Amino acid sequence: MDVKEALAKRQSIRAYRPEPVAREVIERILEAAGKSPSGVNMQPWEIVVVQGQAKDALCQKVEKAFLEDLDDPADYQYYPEKWIEPFKSRRMACGLQMYEALGIERKDKERRKGQWAANYRAFDAPVVIYFLMKNHFGEGTYLDFGMFIQSIALAAVEEGLGTCIQAALADYPTIVKEAIGYADKDHRLVCGMALGYPDMEHPSNTYRTPREPISAFTTFID
């Protein structure tokens, strides 16, 4: 599989088959992703891979916090405070595609909340990867993390695995950091990633969000 093929095949997977992912497979993915670029070769990423009963227990705690409206703000602001076009429309279209695929109507607030709660279970993937950075790093470090996270997602495709890169898994940092041994460390929880074998028959995996043509985001100066 070449890079372009992996880029085309990668998608956000929101339903997984139950079989576990062997540790040696995860290690191959991480070893490949560890070659990602970073500013002055800082390699600032720290990750925690959670599986099995530990994963289930942690996801249940976070889902419960969401359902009970617990106040535990994320370590940084991911989305803009005010949505403007064309980003507002893209966001709305993305959500609409998912709810239509699942047969959830706009007025069905209970099912919509239930579907959002699935974020905090990492869509029942067998593996969750949490990404953390030391607090003293500047904003540029998020560039390094983005490249590293994308590398994991692409390497996973080559292994026949699916991923979903989730800001939602960083919504309750106090709970997560306590569970993974970072409660007393000076770190930000950047995001999480669901990892597992995709269930491509599930409705949530049957659609693809559209991408803009390069003309929409590129300026050539000759």
pLDDT digits (tens, 9 = 90+) for 75-102: 999 999 999 999 999 999 999 999 999 9
CB contact set of 64 (below 8 Å; sequence gap of 6+): none
Please state which CATH class domain 3-216 belongs to.
Answer: alpha beta
pLDDT digits (tens, 9 = 90+) for 185-212: 999 999 999 999 999 999 999 999 999 9
pLDDT digits (tens, 9 = 90+) for 43-78: 999 999 999 999 999 999 999 999 999 999 999 999
How many Å is the maximal CA-CA distance in the chain? 57
Q: Which two tokens stand for residue 132?
A: 């953390």
Q: Which two tokens stand for residue 177?
A: 């950091």
Give the mean pLDDT of 38-45. 97
